[in-house]
Structure 1
Amino acid sequence: MKGGSIEVGEGRSPRKGGARGLSIMDFVLRIIAAVATLGSALAMGTTNETLPFATQFIRFRAEFDDLPSFVFFVLANSVVCGYLVLSLVLSVFHIVRSTAVKSRIILIALDTVMLGLVTAAASAATSIVYIAHKGNAGANWFAICQQYNNFCERISGSLIGSYIAVALFIILIILSVVAVSRN
C-alpha cells in the first residue's frame, strides 16, 4: 500500500482471475456433461429384455435397436460425448490463457450445434418412451411397460443423463458468452 492506494498482486488483475475461474468451471462442466452423455449412451445401448411366451421356445424380445429413435439417441449421445472429450483440450487452453477470444467463439458455435443434436436425440427418445409408458389409444398402440419393466426403466433412466447434458450445454454457452464479453 503506497500513498493510500491498494496494489493488486503481481500482475494479476481481478478480471483475469474471474476469467480463469470461468474457464475452470467450463472444464468441470464439460467433464460432467461427457460422463452424462456417455452414461446415457451406454444405458440405452445395452438395454434389452426377453419375455417368455406360452412355451420356452417362443420368446418376445425388446431391444433398443428395434426403434430408430433409440439408435439415433445412442449415436447422438456418443458423438456429443466424443466432442466434449475433444473440447477439453480447448478448455485447458482457456485455463492457461484466459484472454483467448477466437477459440471461445468457436466453442460457442460448436457447443450450440451439440446442444441442438443432444436436444433432438433426447426429444425423439422421450416421445418413444412416453408411448411405451402410456400407449396411444387413437393409433391402437399399447403401452408395453407393464410387460417389459426392466426395459422401460433403463430407457427412461437413460434420458436423465441426456437432459442433464442439455442443461449443462446451456450453462456452458452462457459461461463462454460471459467470458468473451469480459475480454
Structure 2
Amino acid sequence: MKNSNDSTVIDVPPTAGSSKSKAAASVASRQVNAGGMKRGLGVFDFVLRLGALGAALAAAATMGTSDETLPFFTQFFQFEASYEDLPTFQFFLIAMGIIAGYMALSVPFSIVCIVRPAAVGIRLVLFILDTVALTFATSAAAAAAAMVYLAHSGNSNTNWLAICDQFEDFCQNISGAVVGSFVAVLLIMFLVLLSAFAIRNTH
C-alpha cells in the first residue's frame, strides 16, 4: 500500500500522429531553408550577370574607340594606330560584343531562377551557355593581352617595335579594354561555379 504522499508517474508513449506531424514540420522547415538559399543564389547570379554585362560592354566600347593619330604628319604620310589595324583586336571587339549580348539575354532567365528557385532545367542551360561564354571570353582576352604586351615591350627577334612610347592614348585604351575583359572573365567564372553549386544542391 503506497503512502498518500507518494506520487505516481505515468509515462505516456508518443502517438504516431504526433511523430508524423513533427517529421512533416521538420521537412517543411528544411524545404523553406533550402528555398531561401536557392533564392539567394539566384539573386547573386543576377548581380554577377549585370557585372559581367557592364565589364564586357566597357571593354568593347574602349577597344572600339582606341584610335590615335600622331600630330606630326605630312601631306603624304601620317602615323595612325587603330584597333582595325590588327585582326586580334577586331576579334576581341566582336567577342566582347557577343558576350555582352549573351549576358543581356540571360538576365531574364536569371530572374526566373529567383522566382522559381527549384527550376533545374533553366539552371542547366545557363550552366552550359556560361561555360561556352567563359571559353570564348578567355580566348579573346588572352589574345588581346598578348598583343598589348607586344605594343608595350616589342619583340626584337621579330622586329616588332614597341609603339606605346609614341601612341600613349592608344595603348592606354587597349590596356583598359583588356583589363575590362579579364574582369568579365572572372565574373563569368564565378557564374559557372555558382550554377554548378545550385544544380548540385537542387535535389
TM-score bucket of the superposed structures, by smaller chain: over 0.9
Q: Report the equivalent of 1:175.
A: 194
The Cα shift of 1:161 comes to 1.1
Q: Report the equivalent of 1:115.
A: 134
Are residues 1:51 and 2:105 paired?
no
**Root-mean-square deviation (CA), in Å?**
2.1
Are residues 1:164 and 2:183 paired?
yes
Deviant stretches of 4+, over 6 Å: 6-12
The Cα shift of 1:65 comes to 0.7
1:134 to 149, 153, 158: 153
Identity %: 46
For the residue of structure 1 that corresponds to 2:80, the secondary structure is strand
Cα contact 1:131–1:143 (8 A) shared by 2: yes
| CA pair 101-8 structure 1, distance change in 2 beyond 3 A | closer
- Give the count of matched residue pairs: 180
Where do residues 73-92 of structure 1 align in structure 2 (5 Å cutoff)? Answer: 73-92=92-111
In structure 1, C-alpha distance between the alignment counterparts of 2:182 and 2:35, rounded to whole Å = 32
Are residues 1:42 and 2:61 paired?
yes
Cα contact 1:49–1:150 (8 A) shared by 2: yes
Bigger radius of gyration? 2
Give the partner amino acid of 2:181.
S
In structure 1, C-alpha distance between the alignment counterparts of 2:81 and 2:50, rounded to whole Å = 32
Unaligned runs of 5+ residues in structure 1 are: none
Q: Report the equivalent of 2:37.
A: 18
Give the partner amino acid of 1:93.
V
For the residue of structure 2 that corresponds to 1:52, the secondary structure is coil
Give the partner amino acid of 2:119.
A
In structure 2, C-alpha distance between the alignment counterparts of 1:84 and 1:144, rounded to whole Å = 34
The Cα shift of 1:57 comes to 5.9
| CA pair 137-75 structure 1, distance change in 2 beyond 3 A | same
The Cα shift of 1:103 comes to 1.1
The Cα shift of 1:55 comes to 3.6
Which of the pair is proportionally richer in strand? 1
Q: Report the equivalent of 1:72.
A: 91
| TM-score of the two chains, using structure 2 as the length reference | 0.83
| TM-score of the two chains, using structure 1 as the length reference | 0.92
In structure 1, C-alpha distance between the alignment counterparts of 2:56 and 2:180, rounded to whole Å = 6
In structure 2, C-alpha distance between the alignment counterparts of 1:179 and 1:160, rounded to whole Å = 29
Unaligned runs of 5+ residues in structure 2 are: 1-20
In structure 1, C-alpha distance between the alignment counterparts of 2:85 and 2:130, rounded to whole Å = 30
The Cα shift of 1:8 comes to 9.5
